[in-house]
Amino acid sequence: MAPSEAEENRAWDRAEGEPEKAYAHFLKWLALEDRNLVRAAKAMRLSHARLLELSSSWSWQARGAAYDQHESRKIADACAKDRLAAARAIAQDIRESAEARLDVPAGERDPAGVQKLATALKAITPALEDPAPAQTVRIDIEGLYTAVRLREQQREEDEEGSAA
């Protein structure tokens, strides 16, 4: 598979005409936690003037910023995917629990509680199937929790009333 145009023209790749040794110095500088040229010169055993010349000639600051932005985007994308996957897993668990609670004989069902659960299930289903934002999933989950709690309270009250 051929790389995309964006992958082919990444700013931190070796620039056209950039000497191999200059690019090697750039990669060392790019890997530093503190990209201060004075400290980098010492760490790389080069003179500050030489490193400044290389940095200026080959746009190290701009290329480093582009690299940092690219890496930040990758991290943010991974975090967003993890949050969405977690929200979907929670939503699926709640949905299964709610569906199990709905699977009771008709005579024992509280019509209002059943309606609330059914409404909550309809609201949460798109969150399980579509790539919805995590905050939408959170809102649906809160609605479902409320419906389940109401149903459990009603069941407890019914049990207490029949025991008395």
pLDDT at residue number 17: 94
Three-class HEC string of the chain? CCCCHHHHCCCCCCCCCCCHHHHHHHHHHHHCCCCCHHHHHHHHCCCHHHHHHHHHHCCHHHHHHHHHHHHHHHHHHHHHHHHHHHHHHHHHHHHHHHHHHHCCCHHHCCHHHHHHHHHHHHHHHHHHHCCCCHHHHHHHHHHHHHHHHHHHHHHHHHHHHHHC
Name the region of 21 (left: φ>0; alpha: ψ -120 to 50; beta: rest). alpha
Taking 60 as the threshold, does the pLDDT of residue 115 lie above it?
yes
Cα 128 to its chain centre, rounded Å, is 16
CB–CB of 109/155 below 8 Å? no
CB–CB of 29/64 below 8 Å? yes
Predicted TM-score (pTM) of this structure: 0.52
| Nearest-angstrom CA–CA distance, 132 and 120 | 16
**How confident is residue 87, by pLDDT bands cut at 50, 70 and 90?**
confident
Residue among 72, 68, 58 nearest 30 (CA): 68
pLDDT at residue number 42: 92
Residue among 66, 61, 129, 118 nearest 92 (CA): 129
Highest mean pLDDT among 35-39, 89-93, 151-155, 156-160: 35-39
**How confident is residue 135, by pLDDT bands cut at 50, 70 and 90?**
very low
Q: How far apart are the two ends of the chain, measured CA to CA in Å?
A: 73
Of 134-138, 152-156, 159-163, give the lowest mean pLDDT range: 134-138
Model confidence pLDDT, tens digit, residues 15-64: 999 999 999 999 999 999 889 999 999 989 999 999 999 999 999 999 99
Taking 60 as the threshold, does the pLDDT of residue 147 lie above it?
yes
Length of the chain as a residue count? 164
